[in-house]
Amino acid sequence: MEARFRIGVDIGGTFTDCVVVDADGQRTVSKALTTHESLSDGVLAALDVAAGELGIARAELLRGTAMLVHGTTVATNAVLTRGGVRTGLITTRGHEDALIIGKVFSKRAGLAERDIQHSSRLDKPEPIVPPELIRGVSERVDVDGDVVVELNEAEAERAIDELVAAGVEAIAVSFLWSFVNSGHERRVRELLAERAPGVFVSLSSEIAPLLGEYERTSTTALNAYVGPKVASYLAGLEARLQEEGLGGPMLVMQAGGGLTSVEDASGKPILTLDSGPAGGILGARHLGALYGEGNVICTDVGGTSFEVGLILGGEIPLDHDPVVSQYSLRIPKLAVRSIGAGGGSLAWVDAGGLLRVGPQSAGSRPGPACYGLGGSEPTVTDADLVLGYLDPDSFLGGRMALDRDLALAALAQLGERLSMEPEEVALGIFRIINAQMADLIRKATIEQGHDPRDCVLIAYGGAGPTHAAFYGRDIGAKAILVLPRSTAFSAEGMLTCDVVHTAQGARFLGAPFVDGDFAQLGEDFVRLEGQVIEQFAREGARDEEVTLVRELGVRYRKQAHTLIAQVDGGPLSLDSAGPIQERFERRYATVYGEGALLSAGAGIELEAQYVNGTRAVEPPPLRAHDLEPGDGSQALRGERQAWFDGFLATPVYEGSELHAGDALTGPALIQRMGDSLVVPNGFSATVDEYLTIALTPS
């Protein structure tokens, strides 16, 4: 049978989303509850639903599938819930506490201002490797990679035996300066193979070969901690899909945005962290390209959190210091910012008598007051409902009725303490949450030196369409695009990404440069390129399918934070220094301002080297509909009172009845499967050829 389908699967905390795309670009979206005890079951259930929609059996769907792409939260959840395996750590003797000390930084890593201010409540994270499973071994390498103390093999063997006796299932090995000289780590792996077969092993020189033993160790330990679970889950799912005749490869989404093989992901499972949100951002990049927009702000409004990603000049910036559960990581990870602001965020009154919203959330149970499941505190969803933005009868496609009276009662309770009417409180909540979301966007854009006025904003996630016009207007994006199928957009986005492998080096070079520096750097790049090519070859890719890009971390002498500059291919020489400095300073002036540049010819330093290899995957076609200018009146379904500087009788449209080419002016409400799109007054909404609705200030 001809392989005509491509499938994207995103396992989220509540739902497993699935998107099947056929050869014509026709999308079929399905959802199933996530089955935490056995994640494969939820995936298969979602596939069942999709197959049902297509009128075929699941096995037939799988046999006809050319590629299945999969994003998973297994790694993220294993860390957040401390559900990884019993893990041991072997490290340089004298430095056993590095992971526990966490540079002191771990007490606040990833926390919000509000939490950091409250010193009596700060704590370091619960250890992923308990202190009794950390073993120091005598060995020492110095900054130049020279061995100061030989590896004490007797100590290493004893450490391995003790850890095995203590029942560990995974062992991380992280020695000082191993990213310069990995000999001792590799020798310990040989000893582990002999004495602890079957134990999952991670070496820091392979997982995160960069300067900084805390972050390197933490990344390696987390990799070991989630490794056995992710590896066995991925292998299990792949086996079940293959048994059923999966027609093409199963590929895994990585935090850095590229796809990789199951084999590769099983060795570096930490790279699958947060791979769901990554899918959404990649999807947004693809759409941006389709629209000819290189600068995109991706906004995902869920039930408990609001996530923002950025695309600049068609590129997605990486977060070089990501944090999970207060642990710092050194992995390539798309920059995604997140705050506790979503439909379920709770409103409250603080000690100073001010209205506040979030970050606590009512979750799915009891949920917002209007769910009628016992929640008595008002949430953003309650405010949306009272303001008329949500239809009480068509929430989740009518599967769940919302109770406006319960929402009002909850708002009134808060209103009493604020001397405000319930509707005023609702409006206050609505404005505050929108302002918080706009602030996060500002943090991701303006504070990084990017002007949101040069960007289009793409909104997805269940509550995105309700709030998009408001937070979008506040930050001044040039257009706001609300996508069709916005609830499963992350799964769809995974189908648009390429297979990516990265190698990194840690050679340090400082000005004044001498002959030979760059020749050496060029050789490093060639070696890293070789590693990347070899990995692609193992997966069956031909050399000519792979595109390689070289990058360098550059900074002024004495600085610590680097900016990334691209380097041309081919051999390097002393002449390469000029163009590198020029690219660095151009970027520097953009981020920090012209006044911040040092005088011409100031010394620069080159720190990390990266080679990014990409094998392009042709994204599934998106069918363009013919545009027929119209006013959408065929979709008009009546009116509802909704707040637009006062309650107004507002026209309500059925989204599935709108045609490409329809244009409406606000105020208007567009009821869609799984969401409610709000078009405020002063905005117009146009449906484009891909059925995306663009909101623009008129």
Q: Let me know the angle formed at the C-alpha of 578 by 573 and 584, rounded to the nearest 5 degrees.
A: 120
Rounded CA separation 256/272 (Å):
8
Rounded CA separation 188/130 (Å):
21
Q: Is 330 in the site for another protein (CB under 8 A)?
A: no
Closest CA to 623 of 660, 589, 577, 667: 660
Q: Which of 177, 306, 644, 683 binds another protein (CB under 8 A)?
A: 177
> Which residues, numbered 662-691, are part of the site for another protein (CB under 8 A)?
none
Burial class (CB in 10 A: 0-12, 13-18, 19+), 89: buried
Find the shortest distance in angstroms from Cβ 561 to another protein: 5
Q: Let me know the angle formed at the C-alpha of 447 by 446 and 451, rounded to the nearest 5 degrees.
A: 15
Rounded CA separation 617/495 (Å):
8
Half-sphere exposure of 99 (CA within 13 A, CB side): 29
Rounded CA separation 653/223 (Å):
49
For another protein, the closer CB: 440 or 533:
440
- The helix/strand/coil state of 144 is coil
Rounded CA separation 457/123 (Å):
37
Q: Is 354 in the site for another protein (CB under 8 A)?
A: yes
Counted residue by residue, the chain has a size of 698
For another protein, the closer CB: 150 or 315:
150
Measuring CA to CA, how many Å separate 600 from each of 20, 578, 604?
Answer: 55, 11, 11
Closest CA to 647 of 421, 463, 409, 410: 421
Q: Which of 169, 213, 264, 492 binds another protein (CB under 8 A)?
A: 213
Q: Is 516 in the site for another protein (CB under 8 A)?
A: no
Find the shortest distance in angstroms from Cβ 506 to another protein: 10
Q: Is 53 in the site for another protein (CB under 8 A)?
A: no
Q: Which of 365, 399, 542, 558 binds another protein (CB under 8 A)?
A: 558
For another protein, the closer CB: 130 or 248:
130
The single-letter code of the amino acid at 23 is A
Burial class (CB in 10 A: 0-12, 13-18, 19+), 572: buried
Find the shortest distance in angstroms from Cβ 139 to another protein: 7
Find the shortest distance in angstroms from Cβ 179 to another protein: 9
Query: Token pair 């997805």 is at which residue?
Result: 460
> Which residues, numbered 214-243, are part of the site for another protein (CB under 8 A)?
214-215
The distance from CA 697 to its chain's CA centroid, rounded to whole angstroms, is 30
Q: Is 556 in the site for another protein (CB under 8 A)?
A: yes
Count residues binding another protein (CB under 8 A).
78
Find the shortest distance in angstroms from Cβ 513 to another protein: 13
> Which residues, numbered 474-513, are part of the site for another protein (CB under 8 A)?
508
For another protein, the closer CB: 145 or 638:
145
Rounded CA separation 39/387 (Å):
38
The DSSP bridge pattern shows strands 509-510 and 355-361 to be unpaired
> Which residues, numbered 562-621, are part of the site for another protein (CB under 8 A)?
592-593, 595-598, 603
Find the shortest distance in angstroms from Cβ 328 to another protein: 10
The DSSP bridge pattern shows strands 65-71 and 250-253 to be parallel
> Which residues, numbered 89-148, are part of the site for another protein (CB under 8 A)?
92-98, 100-101, 103-105, 107-108, 113-114, 116-120, 122-124, 131-132, 136, 138-140, 142-144, 148
For another protein, the closer CB: 211 or 663:
211
> Which residues, numbered 389-448, are part of the site for another protein (CB under 8 A)?
418, 427-428, 431-432, 435-436, 439, 442-443, 446-447
Find the shortest distance in angstroms from Cβ 233 to another protein: 33
Closest CA to 357 of 417, 416, 436: 436
For another protein, the closer CB: 101 or 616:
101
Binding mask 445-464 for another protein (x = CB under 8 A): -xx-----------------
Find the shortest distance in angstroms from Cβ 105 to another protein: 4
Q: Which of 37, 126, 350, 544 binds another protein (CB under 8 A)?
A: 350
Find the shortest distance in angstroms from Cβ 136 to another protein: 7
For another protein, the closer CB: 281 or 357:
357
